[in-house]
Structure 1
Amino acid sequence: MIQLGEVVMILEWHRQGMSVSAIARQSGLDRKTVRKYIHRGLEAPAYGPRKPRQTVIDPFTRYLRERVSAFPGLTGSRLFREIKEHGYSGGYTAVTDFLREIRPATPSSFEVRFETAPGEQAQVDFAQFQVVFTDEPSAPRIVWLFSLVLGYSRLIWARFVLHQDLATLLRCHVAAFEALGGVPHEVLYDRMKAVVTGEATAGGIVYNRALIDLARHFGFHPKACRPYRAKTKGKVERPFRYIREDFFLARSFSNLEDLNRQLQHWLATVANPRVHATTRRIVMEAFAEEQPFLRPLPMAPFRSVLRLERRISREGMISVGGNFYSVPDSTRRRVVEVHTLADEIRIFEEGELIAAHPVLEGRHQRRVAPGHRKGMATGPWRGSEAFPVSRTGDVVAQRSLEFYDAVARHLARETRA
């Protein structure tokens, strides 16, 4: 086989008009060879496959193939130990590289989209967000997004809250069902502590008793998905990313109330009126079809109770969920029983109701109910407001600066005297 440079020279001589015989005499090649390369023209030379090089694992490849064929699940480290016993002196990487070539390919299964009938299922979950409110610019806050997504229409009901606890979970369920005007037949959860308290010896799931009371009251069936199977709740997991990227990022919020106000506007004008990417239907139109299949709301409000004992502070307050609620001045006992409802805190002394407060959102907030403090200034009062407890000596009368100047001159005269 001649080199590429010789081919170029033959073609150049042929272009200059030299005959095949002349080119053969000049190059020392046979005329048939010259004629072949003139006919072929200039092209890259073709080389045959390189002879495979002997490797250290070659003597053991037959053994490895037989073992993998008989037992596909054998690990690389196990086979590496076996061939070392047969005299293999190479490295572990050479074994795993060869096993990667001969192992049977694992067929990749396609994901099956699970659809539900109208009104059959809703999916519920929490997601964590970090936000800096403009009212508190120096204190980043952790907030939680509660989201309920209907399985058929993909309608989203969501609210930002400050706690991921049982009381918040119950309140959000009640608010969501009232906003939807009905209740789905089944609600799917992951295994959050507020939902699942453990597993039964027979393999079943033990649900939180308060959640069971909620389910019994509204008539839905709670269902926890299998552990580490987030795709089971894909209809509620995927909207978290959608809400984060389409709503939450690059916005400013003054406080939690403003955050939820902007969220509700976005849900009403962007998220729920959109054409859903999976169903290819407008979410609100699909919900209009689904809503008649929801269970009707019960006539009576939900009144499940979480019972706690709390000690009254020196300021006449009790602490529940990080917030403080007042008791009347006439309370005699230092320890009282507290009933936490979905939307109300009730305080009992020896079985008698002595105070009731709406549940405060957030932490470190205080609420003093009207009439709990004697001698406190009266005026326009909104039940959701909170005001601090006053003690004797806290209130100072306002006087003019001339009064204090006169007091200072009098004290100066007494000092000189």
Structure 2
Amino acid sequence: MRAIAKQLGLSRVTVTRAVQAAGPPQYRRDPSPSVFDEFEDDVRRLLKATPSMPASVVAERVGWTGSSSWFRKKVAQLKPEFAPKDPADRITYRAGDQAQCDLWFPPVDIPLGDGRVGSPPVLVIVASFSRLISGVMLPSRTTPDLLAGMWSLLSGQLEAVPHRLIWDNEAGIGRRNKLAEGVPAFCGALATKIVQLKPFDPESKGIVERANQFLETSFLPGRTFTSVADFNEQLAQWLPTANSRTVRSLRARPIDRVAEDRAGMLAVPPPPPVGFTTRIRLPRDYYVRVFGNDYSVDPSAIGRMVDVHANLTQVTVRINGQVIAVHERAMGSAVTITDPEHVSAAKSLRVRFQTPTPEKAAESLERDLADYDAAFGVSFEQGEEVA
């Protein structure tokens, strides 16, 4: 003690107390009476009866006349004691059982074309057992795009189909225990099941929530994007690096566990019908509207029924199975996409329609008598007399 005190320049008593103390010294102050103490019993009684009662209503009921912010602070300290208990269990994930799905909206402006920028949703799917992350930016959060995005990730990146796909209450998937149109058929084609969680239950899909945060803090910083396609290309190049990292809770890398995960999943089936599909009669202006954008079609099909299909990147128009228009899908809205060949064809048809057709000469009502002879098989030689 004496050597320590001499080296530090402290008294031996101070060093002795420091060595014998359970922790570092700190200032302690005995609690003093508060004006809130006389209201605490009434506040507890109200919160016990109605745990969700706002602090402003509690203050009115108990007759509080002091600082409102101080009262709210004290009530906030008491409320957890009376809140309904909703425990969250630790979940154990089986290989191939489930994958968690969510939409991530990156806080960055991405050019959408036609001078517009936006932040389209990114569909993120994480295999719960292996923690393998897959993702793709979608044009919209509508049901056709969500189904097309899920198929793209399951068939192209995960390369297998989990037995269950965990979703929150995304409107494009379904609401109030009712799946959106087209979703049951998609699940049937893949032999999987979509499970929608109850509201305010983020812990049940915490894996994908953490993956979203990981994307925002590790993928986005320092990057710029020229288009949605550029975003998807950069994300696809980065994901192998992300899936090669060691996950602390697993003490393993996703790429080392994904083989076991895939072994418990279902095989990828033949491509199901996904994307936007409709059948309309092509109007006079020879444009079809898909998700708020107009695309030109060969005007020779005006007045006929055409089949319109849109996937994540392309819009195709067919008539009786024959392709008559193909466009790259626009990512914005209120955009008109025109093929110059369609404009030229429309101009030719318009000129033909506006050019008057010359009238045919009226046929004479006189008939040559030789026509009757030929019809009845009668032939007369020159100079022959008819009896």
TM range, normalised to the smaller chain? Answer: 0.5 to 0.7
User: What corresponds to 1:39 in structure 2?
Assistant: none
RMSD: 4.2
Secondary structure of 2:105 counterpart:
strand
8 Å contact kept, 1:131–1:140? no
Q: Distance in 2 between matches of 1:101 and 1:129?
A: 35
Q: 1:104 to 1:152 in 2, by over 3 A?
A: closer
User: What corresponds to 1:115 in structure 2?
Assistant: 92
Alignment counterpart, residue 323 of structure 2, candidates 355, 359, 363:
355
Q: Distance in 1 between matches of 2:209 and 2:218?
A: 15
User: What corresponds to 2:307 in structure 1?
Assistant: 338
Displacement of 1:303 after TM fit? 2.2
Displacement of 1:224 after TM fit? 0.8
Secondary structure of 2:125 counterpart:
strand
User: What corresponds to 2:268 in structure 1?
Assistant: 297
Alignment of 1:181-192 (within 5 A): 181-192=159-170
- Greater RCO, CA 8 A, separation 6+: 2
Displacement of 1:83 after TM fit? 6.2
TM-score relative to the length of structure 2: 0.64
8 Å contact kept, 2:111–2:118? no
Alignment of 1:17-416 (within 5 A): 65=41, 68=44, 72-73=48-49, 91=66, 105=81, 112-129=89-106, 131-132=108-109, 139-179=116-156, 180-196=158-174, 198-199=175-176, 205-268=177-240, 270-298=241-269, 300-303=270-273, 308-310=278-280, 312=282, 314=284, 316-333=286-303, 336=305, 338-340=307-309, 347=317, 352-355=320-323, 360-363=328-331, 364=335, 366=337, 392=347
Displacement of 1:333 after TM fit? 1.1
Query: Among the aligned pairs, what percent are the same residue?
Result: 18
Q: Distance in 1 between matches of 2:290 and 2:138?
A: 16
8 Å contact kept, 1:347–1:355? yes
Displacement of 1:258 after TM fit? 2.1
Q: Distance in 1 between matches of 2:97 and 2:103?
A: 21
Displacement of 1:358 after TM fit? 6.2
Q: 1:272 to 1:102 in 2, by over 3 A?
A: closer
Q: Distance in 2 between matches of 1:388 and 1:278?
A: 60
8 Å contact kept, 1:130–1:140? no
8 Å contact kept, 2:299–2:345? no
Displacement of 1:354 after TM fit? 4.8
Comparing 124-133 with 244-253, greater Cα deviation is found at 124-133
Displacement of 1:98 after TM fit? 7.9
8 Å contact kept, 1:80–1:95? yes
Q: Residues 198-253 of structure 1: CA distance to partner in whole angstroms, max 9, x if unpaired?
A: 43xxxxx1101311111100111011111232332211122122112211121122
Secondary structure of 1:235 counterpart:
helix
Displacement of 1:122 after TM fit? 0.7
Q: 1:310 to 1:154 in 2, by over 3 A?
A: same
Equivalent residue letter for 1:234: G
Q: 1:177 to 1:367 in 2, by over 3 A?
A: farther
When Rg is computed on C-alpha atoms for both structures, the one with the higher figure is: 1
Displacement of 1:165 after TM fit? 1.7
- In structure 2, list runs of 5 or more residues that go unmatched: 1-29, 349-387
Q: Residues 327-367 of structure 1: CA distance to partner in whole angstroms, max 9, x if unpaired?
A: 44432416x35353657766566xx4453666743344747
Q: 1:234 to 1:356 in 2, by over 3 A?
A: farther
Q: 1:159 to 1:357 in 2, by over 3 A?
A: farther
8 Å contact kept, 1:145–1:161? yes
Q: Distance in 2 between matches of 1:131 and 1:79?
A: 42
Equivalent residue letter for 2:94: A
Comparing 213-222 with 358-367, greater Cα deviation is found at 358-367
Q: Distance in 1 between matches of 2:73 and 2:296?
A: 71
Equivalent residue letter for 1:193: A
